[in-house]
Every structure is written in C-alpha cells, then in structure tokens.
Amino acid sequence: MPEGHTIHRLARRLHESLGGRPVVASSPQGRFEAGAAVIDRCTLQRTEAWGKYLFCDFGTGELLHVHLGLIGKFRTREFPPEEPTGAVRLRLVGEDTTWDLSGPTRCELVPPDEQDRIVGRLGPDPLRRDADPSAARAGLARTDRPIGATLLDQSIVAGIGNVYRAELLFVCGIHPARPSSSITDDEFEAIWGETVRLMRIGERSGRITTTDPEEIGRPRSRMRREDRLYVYHREHCRRCGTTLRTDRIGGRPITHCPSCQPARRRRSTRSR
DNA sequence: CGATTATGATTAA
DNA sequence: TAATCCTAATCGC
C-alpha cells in the first residue's frame, strides 16, 4: 500500500524496532546478497522518508535506498524468523523483530550524494516538518497540465499517489481536468492543508481514510472499508450517490464525482 | 492453473 | 504513450 504515508510510517517503525542495535541482514532471495552483506551486523542509526523514497543509514558510509513501487512490501514477520515463503529481497532481524522486504522497485546502497540527487528531484513532502509548499504552489502556477496530473508528479509534490490524488481532489471539490494554472491561492491552500491532514491520518493508522467521521456516523477506527473513501474504486459517490466518472489523467485512471467536482469553478455563493 | 490486478516509476519510442 | 520491472492475492475457467 505504498503512498507517502506508508513510507513515513515505515521509516518510523523500522527505526523504533531496529534502531540502536546491530541487525542481521540477509537476502533470502539472493538478489541483494552483496548489499545485505555490507549492512549485516551494522547498527541502524537513522531512517528518513521523502515522499515515497526511504533511506536507512547503517553507518557504513552508504545508505540503503528502498522504493516500494507499486507492489513492494516491507512487513514484519514472526520472531524468531522462519524460512521465508515468497521472494524476500532483504530480511532484517533485530533483537525481537523480523522485517521482510519483497517486490521493491528499488533496493540498493547509494552514496550520500546520490541521496541528495534523488531528493533534489522531488517536490516538497507534505509529511515532512520542513516542508515548504511554496515550490509546489509555483509548480502548479506555471503549467497548464491538468491538476490531476501534477498532483501525481513527484517533482511537484512528493508522496501523493493514485488514491490520495483522487480523494484530495474530491475533498477539495476540484475537477481533475482543471488546468493546474487555474488553481487559485485558496484552492491551493485547501489542497495542501487537506494533503497534510489526510496523509497524517494515513500515517498514524496505516491505511487511507479520507471520509469525515461525522458524515459517516462512526469513528474512523470503526468504519467499514467501503465507507473510508469518497470516490476511489467506487461506482457511486459516497457523499451524494451520483454515478462517478473515471478518466485517464497523468497516465493513470482517476475517478471523480461530476456533481461534487464541477468542471468549472462554482461561482462563490454568498452565505447568508 | 493461468490471467488479472494493484496505493509506482523509469526507459524507450 | 507503451513497454517494462517487481510480487502476491484474487478471480475465472
């Protein structure tokens, strides 16, 4: 389930469970044997997430760089570990925790300047404390590409994936085909603010929930799966029941509600 | 048991 | 845009 919230959660949990003590590293699958040997018996000193990119410092001079891609998983297994069943690229065993990495699009050791290069290509990450949204604001202002495409562009904003993209635009009432340059300052503030709010919820809970507990009528922790999202993978809008529409934008399908997300910005209705 | 699908990104064309 | 990579769960026959 890898969007930015997953990676930040992972960075924290890896550090909490493995940090400060030597780790036994191996590559049961064999495709990261040399790298695992470098890390083996070294101490995890620091983890860092930027968008969907994860870096782990074992004090070896190089950093472990992991990108889960679409299907990658980094999950805890029983301790002490058993022989892995599937393809495990990297296994990390600490004092009382086993972590197995499978299916990553990237798993490599990189020098610090390579980390700088990777992070240098990324936009601000809403989950980072040091995030500065101004670069993202400027990035949107200078292109006519649809907002649905720019929100997925990691060089504009780092960490948003296909689920959050669709849900954020719904929550903000913005049609995904709107030119990015047409997004107003108020709309940008809403997008950024909601991204921070919703991805923090995702990071804490380990799953994506964007619906409002008041609206659903039960706390987030007790929501049914089909009540957690407004539009993603749905046929009808969770808010108004309108039949949803799915288009390909930015190379990937995005679903929106024609009623809640009008193509043209609604003339602001004066309240009262 | 094979085909399909998935919250991603890079490279080639 | 399309092809490609990476894995495992699920679905249809």
Residue A228 has a pLDDT of 96
The 10 Å CB-count burial string (b at 16+, else e) for A245-263 is eeeebbeeebbbbeebbee
CA–C1' nearest nucleotide, residue A207? B7
Quick check: A73 CB within 7 A of strand C?
yes
CA gap A217, A266 in Å, rounded: 28
What integer pLDDT is reported at residue A266 of this predicted model?
62
Q: Report the distance separating Cα A11 and Cα A55, nearest Å.
A: 8
> Does domain A133-256 bear CATH number 1.10.8.50?
yes
Place of tokens 């929501």: A223
Please tell me whether any atom of strand B lies within 7 Å of the Cβ of A70: yes
Question: Would you state the pLDDT for residue A85?
Answer: 84
Looking at residue A13, what is its pLDDT?
A: 97
Q: Contact, A260 vs A237, CB < 8 A?
A: yes
Output the pLDDT for position A272. 30
Tell the CATH superfamily of the A4-120 domain: MutM-like, N-terminal (3.20.190.10)
Distance A96 CA to B9 C1' (A): 34
According to the model, what pLDDT value does residue A270 have? 45
List residues bridging with A108 in a β-sheet: A65
Q: How far apart are alpha carbons A4 and A10 in whole angstroms? A: 10
Residue extent(s) of CATH 3.20.190.10 domains in chain A: 4-120
Integer Cα distance of A92 and A38 in angstroms: 12
- Could you list the pLDDT tens digit for every one of the 272 residues in chain A? 699 999 999 999 999 999 999 999 999 999 999 999 999 999 999 999 999 999 999 999 999 999 999 999 999 999 999 999 899 999 999 999 999 999 999 999 999 999 999 999 999 999 999 999 999 999 999 999 999 999 999 999 999 999 999 999 999 999 999 999 999 999 999 999 999 999 999 999 999 999 999 999 999 999 999 999 999 999 999 999 999 999 999 999 999 999 999 987 666 554 33
Which letter does DSSP use for residue A180 in this model? G
- Which residue of the set A220, A239, A252, A265 is catalytic? A252
- A:29-68 Cβ neighbours of strand C under 7 Å: 29, 31
Which pLDDT score, from 0 to 100, does residue A80 have? 93
Beta bridge partners of A79: none
Query: How far lies A74's CA from each of A41, A151, A161, A170, A221, in Å?
Result: 20, 25, 18, 30, 23
Nearest to A164 by CA among A248, A232, A81: A232
CB proximity list for A162: less than 8 A, separation 6 or greater: A3, A152, A232, A252, A253, A254
Q: Is the CB of A81 under 7 A from strand C?
A: no
Spatial separation of the C-alpha atoms in residues A266 and A176, rounded to whole Å: 15
The first and second tokens of residue A117, run together, are: 């290069």
In the set A52, A89, A165, A178, the catalytic residue is: A52
Cite the residue boundaries of each domain of chain A with CATH code 1.10.8.50: 133-256
Distance A234 CA to B4 C1' (A): 19
Tokens 């870096």 label which residue? Answer: A55
The SS3 assignment for A6 reads: helix
